[in-house]
Amino acid sequence: MSSLPTIAILGAGSMGGAILHGVVSSGRAGGVTVTNRTRAKAAALADLAGVTSIALEDEPAGNARAAASADVVLIGVKPAMVPDLLAEIGPHLRAGAIVVSLAAGVTIATFERILGPDAVVLRSMPNTPAVVGKAVTGLAAGTNAGADAVAAARGVFETVGTVLEVPEERIDALSTISGSGPAYVFLLIEELTKAAIGKGFAEDEARVLAEQTFIGAAALLAASGEDPAELRRRVTSPKGTTEKAIEVLQEARLDEVFARATDAALVRTKELAAGA
């Protein structure tokens, strides 16, 4: 595998930090500079191999130096901070630098307006399993992001999982599935744990049963290459016990529940984008 481009991560917190760890553990990092506000955050990343970690507390112009050092610049600060950060780094970007947003809800148009009409911009929506290298990241190309820029950004996100390229207008919908999705899965695990407690298991036993069932089923899905409906059928013998449970779950119209839940998330995304 070839080396990754030089990378800057401006705001290496939960998400930027997860991507940093993926990039470093890939063994293909071609030089990474990261910034955070506080000295403590910066110090925690300073020992990673090949990483230059800057605290803005010590070096107020650190974002400009980091941006100038990289071919791919990831923007990992909170959405409200993005416009100021872009205005700060714009004059320091290398010619042809690829700017990749991690920020939820900030449009490519905002990036291109602040950085200028020639800026090469992509927008991403990763999810928290990035921390363990199992993210799904939606990636949308801006006006000037051609195949090479998309491939460079894809290479970075593939160090923390799988990448799906979509047009920007699909990013909000994607976010309601994979961005918020880990929370839906954790909720299902919590509810199955409660059911186990209701059947008389101690809390620690209930957690083992529910959590390992989700982890094991997901691993089986990944390893088998089968689709989930087929794997479900293999557990569901005709007239058996599982069939009875599945009937009850289907009566609860989980299809409608998931459609309504993701619709609600989409409405909220639009409200947030409008500043509500």
Ligand X SMILES: NC(=O)c1ccc[n+]([C@@H]2O[C@H](COP(=O)([O-])OP(=O)(O)OC[C@H]3O[C@@H](n4cnc5c(N)ncnc54)[C@H](OP(=O)(O)O)[C@@H]3O)[C@@H](O)[C@H]2O)c1
Which residues contact ligand X (rule: CB under 6 A)? 10-16, 35-38, 41, 56, 63, 76-79, 81, 85, 102-104, 125-128, 179
Q: Closest approach of Cβ 157 to ligand X, in Å?
A: 11
Q: Closest approach of Cβ 156 to ligand X, in Å?
A: 14
Q: Closest approach of Cβ 54 to ligand X, in Å?
A: 9
Measured from each CB, the residue nearest to ligand X is 13
DSSP single-letter state for residue 134: -
DSSP H or E segment with residue 47: none
Q: How far apart are CA 133 and CA 158, in angstroms?
A: 9
The burial class, CB within 10 Å (0-12 / 13-18 / 19+), for 169 is exposed
Q: Which residue, 37 or 233, has its beta carbon nearer to ligand X?
A: 37
Q: How far apart are CA 220 and CA 198, in angstroms?
A: 27
How many angstroms separate the Cα of 14 from the Cα of each of 66, 76, 135, 196, 235? 19, 9, 13, 32, 37
Backbone angles phi, psi at 73, to 5 degrees: -115, 115
Q: Which residue, 130 or 210, has its beta carbon nearer to ligand X?
A: 130
Q: Closest approach of Cβ 195 to ligand X, in Å?
A: 28
Q: Which residue, 10 or 51, has its beta carbon nearer to ligand X?
A: 10
Q: Which residue, 5 or 11, has its beta carbon nearer to ligand X?
A: 11
Q: Which residue, 74 or 120, has its beta carbon nearer to ligand X?
A: 74
Q: Which residue, 196 or 269, has its beta carbon nearer to ligand X?
A: 269
Q: How far apart are CA 33 and CA 28, in angstroms?
A: 15
Q: Closest approach of Cβ 272 to ligand X, in Å?
A: 10
How many angstroms separate the Cα of 157 from the Cα of each of 7, 72, 102, 271? 12, 12, 11, 28
Q: Closest approach of Cβ 137 to ligand X, in Å?
A: 9
